Amino acid sequence: MAELCESQLPKPSVSVCSPVINFSQLKKLYITNPGYPLDDVEDLGEWTDRISNTSDELNAIREIHIIGEKPEAEETQVQISLGRTVSGPMNHALPFEIDETNDTNYEWMRSYQGGSREVLFWAEGESGKIYGGNSGIRASLSVKYVIAREATELDKIIGNLTWRDKQDPERHDSPLADSGSGS
């Protein structure tokens, strides 16, 4: 006799008259060294104390303007005994472009080349949401420079953040969304 595994179903929220939607596109990355999470991702004061593109502090958070996305994560499913299926950690990626290719950003990019480098990051979207929670997302960062063939196109820094996790990152309202933060 098959064992019945029951649990309380998660409760969604839908509205015919007032649906809540979020516009796409990631617009900012906040990057710091691993080991320096936030105490409260929704505390504007903590962000403003730590965001600096010039500080030499190890816990400084760098703010980078991007055009980015978070595509669907790749899920691995494994068949186990009794015909059951379990999901392992998903492979996540966040590809992005930086169109501000000044000398400082070019050297910033070069400092991450020569292999992937582990960083802790948060991503902010057009929706006013910030992804990463208090802990941030620990990921490998790779970046490259692209010079287009056409004179009417922009040079770009192309980047990718990759990580493995069983779930998509935590999401919160960004205290920075309307603050015109840092840089």
Buried b (16+ CB within 10 A) or exposed e, 4-14: eeeeeeeeeee
In a domain, 17, yes or no: no
Structure tokens at 179: 């603050």
Pair 28, 61: CB distance under 8 Å: no
In a domain, 27, yes or no: no
Query: Rounded to whole angstroms, how far apart are CA atoms 70 and 169?
Result: 10
pTM of the model: 0.88
Tens of pLDDT, residues 169-182: 999 999 998 755 54
Domain that holds residue 131: 35-69+89-173
In a domain, 105, yes or no: yes
Structure tokens at 15: 């509205």
In a domain, 167, yes or no: yes
The domain total for the chain is 1
Tens of pLDDT, residues 84-133: 999 999 999 999 999 999 999 999 999 999 866 999 999 999 999 999 99
In a domain, 22, yes or no: no
In a domain, 119, yes or no: yes
DSSP per residue over 116-151, as a string? -EEEEEEEEETTSEEESTTT-EEEEEEEEEE--SST
